[in-house]
Amino acid sequence: MEYSLGLYEKALPPAEDLVSLCRKAREAGFDRLELSIDESDARLARLDWSESAQRELGIRSREAGTAIRTLCLSGHRKYPLGARDPAVRARSLEILKKAIAFAANAGIGIIQLAGYDVYYEPGDEGTVSRFRDGLFQGTAWAAEAGVILAFETMETPFMDTVEKAMAWVRDVNSPWLGLYPDIGNLQNAAVKYGRSVTEDLAKGAGHTFALHLKETRPGVYRDLRFGSGGHTDYAGCLRTALAMGVRLFTGEFWYHGEENWVSELRRANTFLREKIEGAAEER
């Protein structure tokens, strides 16, 4: 079975030369690199690169054998679409528009959107309404550029399940908006609500473009090593995703200054490929 296993950029030591990260991902056995545009000034500044620099990144990443085909846009945590402050909301829309242009220039097909109306402030009907307005606008920009927007299921109640994310996908009703769920987050939501994670994941059939593969345990959403005692249902989720036609997967984990980070990358690659290929054999 053919599939693509990507590596989340933050699993690698930070570097200004993104092509060097592509090479490190390839050396560890991954097929591609997922770029991060988070809420830090340094990563948000990438959106202001020249068009030629953005295009060059796409070309050089492919030449390195590890194309950047997906972009994780988590900068909306700090600058959310549903923000009460008009200046923050304007910045949010600017980030989204620039990210779509960046993706189009660099040959990136999918932008993973964080499923938050707001993050650092309480939500209400107003934040939801403003989120909806921004989502419609962003999807129109994405359609024009030929770039897919896909929701990541998050750790907050606003969009922690596929069922909730699909309500927004149906509302917008565009082929350019779909899902890129995080199965670790979904597992935590399934435990929280007493539901089946695979039944929830299956509700995204026909609209799921890729999966984040991440280790979690109840109440813990990040910084766990693969196979470290988490409860993520890799086998069930991967069987369900493969049955839906999903073939694009990304390992999400983080570098924290470990001396053995190279061996940890290779271990993660082996762990995830065994899970994917094992699920394919069980189908």
Q: How confident is the model at residue 1 (pLDDT cuts 50, 70, 90)?
A: confident
Q: Is the pLDDT of residue 214 over 80?
A: yes
Domain span at 136:
4-282
DSSP designation for 1:
-
Contact 81/158 with Cβ under 8 angstroms?
no
Element (H, E) at 19: helix 18-27
Q: pLDDT, tens digit, for every residue of 73-108?
A: 999 999 999 999 999 999 999 999 999 999 999 999
Q: How confident is the model at residue 58 (pLDDT cuts 50, 70, 90)?
A: very high
Q: Is the pLDDT of residue 283 over 80?
A: no
Contact 208/241 with Cβ under 8 angstroms?
yes
Predicted local distance difference test score (pLDDT) of residue 75? 97
Strand, helix or coil at 65?
coil
pTM equals 0.97
Q: pLDDT, tens digit, for every residue of 174-186?
A: 999 999 999 999 9
Q: pLDDT, tens digit, for every residue of 238-249?
A: 999 999 999 999
Domain count, the chain: 1
C-alpha distances (whole Å) from 84 to each of 76, 91, 92, 129, 131 are: 13, 12, 11, 11, 10
Q: What is the CATH number of the domain that holds 23?
A: 3.20.20.150
Percent share of the chain, pLDDT over 70: 100
Please classify residue 86 by burial: count the beta carbons closer than 10 Å to its beta carbon, then call 0-12 exposed, 13-18 middle and 19+ buried: exposed
Which of left, alpha, beta for 36 (phi over 0: left; psi -120 to 50: alpha)?
beta
